[in-house]
């Protein structure tokens, strides 16, 4: 496996990942034969970032089914968030927003802080894409609180901080600079 980071940063206009396509393809090739829930989840993320959205949605459905049979409720919720991410990339913004709102509500109700932050982060991205910038900022700020209190890895916290910075810059009509440090986790 290459030590090259897959996620290089984020586009301030879309909040989507900028990736090293070769590193993403290499990692996908390494794990595509595995069927564990964690491997399926990683495959969903890689396929989504590579723009292979039909395959990503199919894998997301498989991961969701598997999580319902073999995983915990938390695993199922995380799989639903990943499926909603694919829906967002497919342009199914209303469906993604609806799914993510349910995920946020469930995670908050059960006090699953990590999943609350994860769900809020991605609902914020959908809201941003819908042009509902103030609501997106509120979700990103809530996500950051969950992510900071739960001890989430810095790369995920940084993606939330970047989103907040980019949205505030958009609201103020100023430009934003991307983070220079590469992000290696694909679960953000």
Quick one: pLDDT at residue 173? 87
Quick one: pLDDT at residue 153? 78
Mean pLDDT of the chain: 91
- SS3 label, residue 19: strand
Q: Write out pLDDT tens, residues 149-165.
A: 866 778 778 899 999 99
Quick one: pLDDT at residue 19? 97
Rounded average pLDDT over 128-133: 97
Q: Write out pLDDT tens, residues 63-108.
A: 999 999 987 999 999 999 999 999 999 999 999 999 999 999 999 9
Rounded average pLDDT over 19-46: 96
Q: Where exactly are the structural domains of the chain?
A: 7-172
7-172 belongs to CATH 3.30.1330.60 = no
pLDDT band at 1 (very low <50, low <70, confident <90, very high): very low
Phi and psi dihedrals of 140, rounded to 5? -65, -40
Residue 119, pLDDT > 70, answer yes
Quick one: pLDDT at residue 149? 80
pLDDT band at 167 (very low <50, low <70, confident <90, very high): very high
Quick one: pLDDT at residue 179? 44
């Amino acid at each position: 496996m290459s030590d090259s980071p897959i996620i290089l940063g984020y586009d301030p206009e879309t909040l989507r990942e900028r990736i090293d396509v070769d590193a993403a393809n290499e990692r996908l090739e390494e794990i595509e034969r595995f069927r564990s829930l964690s491997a399926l989840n990683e495959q969903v993320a890689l396929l989504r970032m590579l723009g292979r959205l039909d395959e990503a949605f199919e894998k997301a459905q498989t991961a969701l089914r598997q999580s319902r049979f073999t995983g915990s409720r938390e695993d199922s919720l995380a799989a639903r968030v990943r499926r909603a991410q694919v829906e967002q990339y497919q342009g199914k913004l209303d469906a993604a927003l609806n799914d993510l709102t349910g995920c946020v509500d469930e995670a908050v109700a059960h006090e699953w802080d990590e999943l609350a932050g994860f769900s809020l982060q991605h609902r914020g991205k959908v809201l941003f894409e819908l042009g509902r910038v103030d609501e997106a900022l509120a979700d990103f700020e809530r996500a950051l609180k969950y992510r900071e209190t739960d001890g989430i890895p810095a790369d995920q916290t940084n993606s939330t901080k970047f989103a907040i910075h980019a949205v505030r810059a958009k609201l103020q009509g100023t430009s934003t600079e991307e983070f220079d440090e590469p992000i290696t986790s694909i679960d953000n």
